[in-house]
């Protein structure tokens, strides 16, 4: 295939069931880094429900064939080819043995079997198993696996695979073996093995039904002191799934393993979850409060997959959101519940706000570009490119909407029915939807459109109050306002949108809500079901004109358009009983101000802002009744990326100038309050990992950050230097360092140099902390005399830098290209030239990581002409030279 040929796409409509089934798999590995021999014995039979095929087609990639046998006979008619292996004229039921080799040490893609830090690991989702051995590598083929691992004992003392350990022992010549069996049928993408020099933290627990379980977190010896939090999180996750959904751990042993070379966050292999070190290792000196929270949710996520993903799996990869959307929903609910503690409502709201921020930045952005796709995509070239914000995050919102529509009890009934019907099966998003519908006696056929339609829906709201009749009419109209051709390509009809609403009276209290036709008021928050293009809902007996609180708790993944006045937003920020909407009101206010200022920058006018935002921020900052974490979030301005996407034409420089101006003004105008807040939220003494203490640290660091924006940042420098030197935890340390970098960017002096060097030498031996050191510099504000691109280029030559480790590559390269918009989009094109080089360099090493980086230019059409022309050229250069399907799919879509 010439590299410019259009790559072949896989289509959802083309699904057919497998012609053969594989009931059992017996794998034997002789592990050596250069050449591992894999002997694979399968019990195969024709799928009775499918038209008879004479030949068995197995997938295989990058393998060397040694031999094959059918029912023990070596003379079989097989052909080995590029894409796998064909066995001709097979009987209805037979035993097939194939032996081959793969090359773990040379495998830089980190898919299949590979070596990291001298140890062996696997990653099979989505299609990595075919890089280990020939197989029906598709999720609707489920088998029982037995695995024998053999390796040199001194180099690989620990040998792990899925399920239960059956046997282990020594072999001649310093080798040893271990034999594992996983009693549950599983698809090949859930297979895993690990071999090497690892140590484990262990815990023994009893599940709800009284069974003993062994839990292990395996890491390299130097990391054992960073495994406590993951173990605690795992135990909490196990308990939560029992209590919330009645789902128990089904194996006697559950293992987590940490690896530093990993393409994504973590992987839910049955009984043997494999984690990026970044998503599992933590102690207060090396991990921030945000890291602690992420680890808890990812440990939960992978554990929850044991039921939602493993016991019930996907029929095909178009159904990916069946497991990912549902499991993200579950990990979000878990984190909200655990953070709850005593200040539960506020903590739940904080978690919800953070989740919505990520959704709006990443998923709404995806919908606006060439990668826009429905939660259940229709076609893909490279499935790895579809592990997206849409499948994960919008998918989770879709699951949340069922719960909003049928209530928590109804949702549980739906889950119970789903498992009752589908345990042990490979199913579709429709099967889940039908279980939810049937368990609740509802018709959810219209709801299917959430799975098939791409793009971000908009709900336009108009209201009318009539003094005489005391009626309040709310008209909701839905449409897709997007301009992305990729989103418009899917058919689009009205959705069923659960639209949560409250009405706030002049005293700031909620008005009891009674809809037309009801005999009495029912509560103060109601979920309206918007099912048509436009619908009017009338509330009766409303004593005075209220202020609507719209889409409370973000009840649907839509954009709400309503013409609030600035003082109305300030009022909601002060009074809305829904914490999410309280925060939202402040964000709307800030967004409006920031976008107006960005426009002033574009027109080279001098910048002026009203006092509304300053006063609103002052009230939040000084309102001691609000939790510190909620205040910290409310005082955070929308990101530059979010703002740029809301402009008619994205102009990162204008957004940056506007945001910097507002931060400076807020810093200056509220200086005394920031200083007082800082002092009042110090967390002296022993580090505490509670949500409460984390909230105090967040608010304190946010005060420091505002103070570092001042023309004279002496206060910030003094406080941050002290905070850095006294820090007993990473949150304080990195908060101080970033304030110092920011102050240095404003004044051009070198206040950050000493702590930056100190940070490096202090943590030189801890790769995850050194990643932070790279990322911090890649995302710094920079100043005229020293553009950040120069710093980043210099850092690519640092002795600790390598593209081969995805965490390190992302820390420097992706942070700069994806999280420092004003510097990356420099008008001289220096950022884009760098991007081309790095995408191509990564393309040759690790296509999955390269493709992610390639996506940072996908919104190129939305930028100012000067930038978009250069972005196009950069994309064309990559299109000409990239070799992997992964990267080619991304850039070709972008250029269409």
- Of 578, 471, 570, the closest CA to residue 516 belongs to 471
Q: Which does 263 bind (CB under 5 to 8 A by kind): Zn ion, ligand TRP, none?
A: ligand TRP
What's the closest the beta carbon of residue 408 comes to ligand TRP, in angstroms? Answer: 24
Please measure the distance between the N-terminal and C-terminal CA atoms of the chain and give it in whole angstroms: 21
| 471-480 β-sheet, strand order | 534-539, 471-480, 457-466, 559-561
Q: Which does 350 bind (CB under 5 to 8 A by kind): Zn ion, ligand TRP, none?
A: none
Q: Which does 336 bind (CB under 5 to 8 A by kind): Zn ion, ligand TRP, none?
A: none
256, 230 in Cβ contact below 8 A?
Answer: yes
Closer of 119 and 327 to Zn ion (Cβ): 327
Q: Which does 261 bind (CB under 5 to 8 A by kind): ligand TRP, Zn ion, none?
A: none
Q: How far is residue 763 from each of residues 286, 293, 754, 809, 813, measured CA to CA in Å?
A: 8, 22, 14, 18, 21
Cα separation, 90 vs 94, in Å, equals 8
Q: Catalytic: which of 220, 268, 296, 302?
A: 302
Closer of 240 and 303 to ligand TRP (Cβ): 303
Closer of 299 and 551 to ligand TRP (Cβ): 299
Token pair for 734: 């990195």
- Of 635, 646, 663, the closest CA to residue 746 belongs to 663
Q: Which does 658 bind (CB under 5 to 8 A by kind): Zn ion, ligand TRP, none?
A: none
139, 179 in Cβ contact below 8 A?
Answer: no
Distance of CA 120 to the CA centre of its chain: 26
Q: Which does 123 bind (CB under 5 to 8 A by kind): ligand TRP, Zn ion, none?
A: ligand TRP
Closer of 253 and 305 to ligand TRP (Cβ): 305
Q: Which does 703 bind (CB under 5 to 8 A by kind): Zn ion, ligand TRP, none?
A: none
316, 138 in Cβ contact below 8 A?
Answer: yes
With 0-12 CB in 10 A as exposed, 13-18 as middle and 19+ as buried, what is 468? exposed
| 64-70 β-sheet, strand order | 64-70, 93-102, 36-46, 20-30, 143-152, 175-186, 164-170
Token pair for 573: 């920020």
Q: Name, in order, each residue with C-beta under 8 angstroms of 676's C-beta and a sequence gap of 6 or more.
A: none
50, 18 in Cβ contact below 8 A?
Answer: yes
Q: Name, in order, each residue with C-beta under 8 angstroms of 197's C-beta and a sequence gap of 6 or more.
A: 118, 119, 155, 156, 157, 158, 220, 221
The single residue listed with the structure tokens 């024998």 is 148
What's the closest the beta carbon of residue 281 comes to ligand TRP, in angstroms? Answer: 17
Closer of 187 and 628 to ligand TRP (Cβ): 187
What's the closest the beta carbon of residue 267 comes to Zn ion, in angstroms? Answer: 8
Closer of 318 and 824 to ligand TRP (Cβ): 318
40, 414 in Cβ contact below 8 A?
Answer: no
Closer of 330 and 631 to ligand TRP (Cβ): 330
Closer of 321 and 403 to ligand TRP (Cβ): 321
Buried b or exposed e, range 838-858, using 16+ CB within 10 angstroms: bbbbbbebbbbbbbbbbbbbb
CA dihedral sign of residues 147, 259, 324, 419: positive
What's the closest the beta carbon of residue 218 comes to ligand TRP, in angstroms? Answer: 17
What's the closest the beta carbon of residue 99 comes to ligand TRP, in angstroms? Answer: 26
Cα separation, 816 vs 606, in Å, equals 29
Closer of 392 and 418 to ligand TRP (Cβ): 392
Q: Which does 552 bind (CB under 5 to 8 A by kind): ligand TRP, Zn ion, none?
A: none
* Alpha helix positions (H), 120-276: 228-245
Cα separation, 387 vs 170, in Å, equals 41
Q: What are phi and psi of 621, to 5 degrees?
A: -60, -35
What's the closest the beta carbon of residue 803 comes to ligand TRP, in angstroms? Answer: 17
**Using N-to-C axis directions, what is the helix angle for 320-340 and 228-245, rounded to 10°?**
100
Check residue 501 and report its DSSP letter. E
821, 656 in Cβ contact below 8 A?
Answer: yes
598, 651 in Cβ contact below 8 A?
Answer: yes
Give contact residues for ligand TRP (rule: CB under 6 A). Answer: 123, 125-126, 263-264, 266-268, 301-302, 324, 387
Closer of 306 and 484 to ligand TRP (Cβ): 306
Closer of 279 and 486 to ligand TRP (Cβ): 279
What's the closest the beta carbon of residue 327 comes to Zn ion, in angstroms? Answer: 5
What's the closest the beta carbon of residue 324 comes to ligand TRP, in angstroms? Answer: 6
Cα separation, 665 vs 655, in Å, equals 15
What's the closest the beta carbon of residue 324 comes to Zn ion, in angstroms? Answer: 5
Give contact residues for Zn ion (rule: CB under 5 A). Answer: 324, 327
Consecutive H or E run containing 484: none
Cα separation, 697 vs 289, in Å, equals 9
* Alpha helix positions (H), 603-752: 612-622, 628-634, 640-646, 652-669, 671-680, 691-707, 714-726, 730-747
Check residue 8 and report its DSSP letter. P
CB-based closest residue to ligand TRP: 264
What's the closest the beta carbon of residue 242 comes to ligand TRP, in angstroms? Answer: 21
What's the closest the beta carbon of residue 263 comes to ligand TRP, in angstroms? Answer: 4
What's the closest the beta carbon of residue 241 comes to ligand TRP, in angstroms? Answer: 16
- Of 250, 204, 193, the closest CA to residue 231 belongs to 204
SS3 label, residue 550: strand
Token pair for 62: 């990058």
Q: Which does 289 bind (CB under 5 to 8 A by kind): ligand TRP, Zn ion, none?
A: none
Consecutive H or E run containing 476: strand 471-480
629, 583 in Cβ contact below 8 A?
Answer: no
What's the closest the beta carbon of residue 308 comes to Zn ion, in angstroms? Answer: 9
Q: Is 302 a catalytic residue?
A: yes
Cα angle 359-360-365, degrees, rounded to a multiple of 5: 105
Closer of 746 and 847 to ligand TRP (Cβ): 847
Q: Which does 562 bind (CB under 5 to 8 A by kind): ligand TRP, Zn ion, none?
A: none
Closer of 26 and 331 to ligand TRP (Cβ): 331
Give catalytic residue positions: 302
């Amino acid at each position: 295939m010439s590299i410019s040929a259009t790559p072949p796409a896989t289509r959802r409509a083309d699904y057919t069931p497998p012609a053969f089934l594989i009931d059992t798999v017996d794998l034997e590995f002789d592990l050596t880094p250069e050449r591992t021999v894999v002997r694979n014995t399968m019990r195969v039979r024709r799928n009775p429900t499918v038209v008879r095929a004479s030949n068995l087609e197995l997938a295989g990639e990058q393998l060397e064939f040694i031999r094959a046998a059918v029912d023990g006979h070596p003379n079989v008619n097989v052909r080995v080819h590029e894409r796998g292996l064909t066995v001709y004229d097979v009987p209805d039921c037979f035993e097939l043995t194939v032996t081959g080799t793969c090359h773990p040490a040379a495998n830089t893609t980190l898919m299949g079997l590979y070596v990291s830090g001298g140890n062996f690991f696997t990653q099979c989702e989505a299609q990595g198993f075919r890089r280990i051995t020939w197989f029906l590598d598709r999720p609707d083929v489920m088998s029982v696996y037995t695995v024998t691992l053999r390796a040199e004992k001194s180099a690989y003392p620990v040998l792990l695979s899925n399920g239960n350990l059956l046997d282990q022992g020594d072999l001649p010549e310093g080798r040893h073996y271990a034999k594992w069996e996983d009693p549950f049928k599983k698809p090949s993408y859930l297979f895993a093995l690990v071999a090497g020099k690892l140590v484990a933290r262990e815990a023994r627990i009893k599940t709800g039904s009284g069974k003993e379980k062994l839990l292990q977190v395996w890491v390299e010896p130097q990391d054992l002191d960073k495994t406590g939090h993951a173990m605690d999180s795992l135990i909490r996750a196990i308990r939560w799934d029992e209590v919330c959904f009645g789902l128990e751990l089904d194996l006697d042993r559950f293992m987590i393993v940490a690896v530093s070379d990993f393409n994504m966050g973590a992987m839910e292999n049955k009984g043997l979850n494999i984690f990026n070190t970044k998503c599992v290792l933590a102690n207060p000196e090396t991990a921030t409060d945000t890291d602690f929270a992420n680890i808890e949710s990812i440990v939960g996520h992978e554990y929850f997959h044991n039921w939602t993903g493993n016991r019930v799996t996907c029929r095909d990869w178009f159904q990916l959101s069946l497991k990912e959307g549902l499991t993200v929903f579950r990990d979000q609910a878990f984190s909200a519940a655990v953070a709850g503690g005593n200040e539960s409502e506020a903590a739940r709201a904080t978690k919800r706000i953070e989740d919505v921020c990520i959704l709006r930045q990443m998923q709404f952005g995806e919908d606006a570009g060439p990668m826009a796709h429905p939660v259940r995509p229709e076609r893909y070239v490279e499935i790895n490119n579809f592990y997206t914000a849409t499948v994960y995050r919008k998918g989770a919102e879709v699951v949340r909407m069922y719960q909003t529509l049928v209530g928590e009890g109804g949702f549980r009934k739906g889950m119970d029915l789903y498992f009752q019907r589908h345990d042990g099966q490979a199913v579709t998003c429709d099967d889940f939807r039908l279980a939810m519908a049937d368990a609740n006696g509802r018709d959810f056929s219209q709801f299917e459109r959430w799975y098939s339609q791409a793009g971000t829906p908009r709900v336009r709201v108009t209201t009318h109050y009539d003094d005489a009749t005391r009626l309040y009419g709310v008209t909701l109209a839905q449409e897709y306002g997007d301009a992305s051709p990729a989103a418009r390509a899917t058919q689009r009809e009205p959705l069923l949108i659960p639209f949560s609403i409250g009405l706030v009276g002049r005293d700031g209290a909620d008005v009891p809500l009674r809809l037309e036709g009801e005999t009495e008021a029912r509560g103060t928050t109601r979920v309206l079901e918007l099912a048509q293009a436009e619908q009017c809902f009338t509330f009766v007996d409303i004593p005075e004109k209220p202020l609507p609180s719209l889409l409370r708790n973000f009840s649907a993944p839509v954009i709400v358009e309503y013409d609030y006045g600035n003082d109305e937003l300030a009022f909601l920020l002060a009074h809305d009983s829904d914490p999410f909407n309280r925060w939202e009101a402040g964000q709307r206010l800030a967004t409006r101000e920031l976008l107006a200022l960005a426009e002033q920058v574009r027109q080279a006018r001098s910048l002026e802002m009203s006092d509304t935002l300053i006063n609103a921020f002052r009230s939040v900052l000084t309102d001691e009744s609000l939790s510190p974490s909620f205040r910290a979030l409310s005082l955070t301005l929308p990101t530059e990326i979010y703002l740029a996407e809301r402009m008619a034409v994205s102009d990162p420089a204008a957004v940056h100038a506007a945001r910097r101006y507002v931060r400076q003004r807020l810093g200056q105008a509220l200086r005394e309050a920031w200083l007082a807040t800082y002092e009042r939220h110090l967390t002296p003494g022993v580090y505490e990992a509670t949500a409460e203490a984390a909230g105090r640290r967040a608010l304190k660091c946010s005060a420091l950050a505002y103070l570092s924006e001042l023309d004279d940042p002496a206060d910030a420098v003094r406080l941050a230097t002290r905070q850095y030197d006294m820090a007993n935890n990473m949150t304080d340390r990195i908060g101080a360092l970033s304030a110092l970098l920011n102050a240095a960017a404003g004044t051009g002096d070198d206040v950050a140099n000493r702590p930056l060097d100190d940070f490096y030498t202090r943590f030189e031996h801890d790769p995850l902390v050194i990643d932070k050191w790279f990322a911090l510099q890649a995302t710094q504000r920079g100043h005229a005399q020293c553009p950040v691109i120069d710093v980043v280029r210099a850092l690519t030559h640092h002795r600790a830098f390598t593209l081969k480790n995805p965490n390190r590559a992302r820390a420097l390269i992706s942070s700069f290209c994806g999280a420092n918009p004003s510097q990356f989009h420099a008008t001289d094109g220096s950022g884009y030239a760098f991007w081309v080089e790095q995408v191509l360099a990564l393309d040759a090493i690790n296509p999955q990581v390269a493709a992610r980086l390639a996506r940072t230019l996908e919104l190129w059409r939305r930028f100012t002409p000067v930038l978009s022309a250069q972005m196009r050229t950069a994309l064309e250069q990559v299109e000409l030279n990239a070799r992997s399907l992964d990267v080619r799919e991304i850039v070709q879509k972008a250029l269409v």
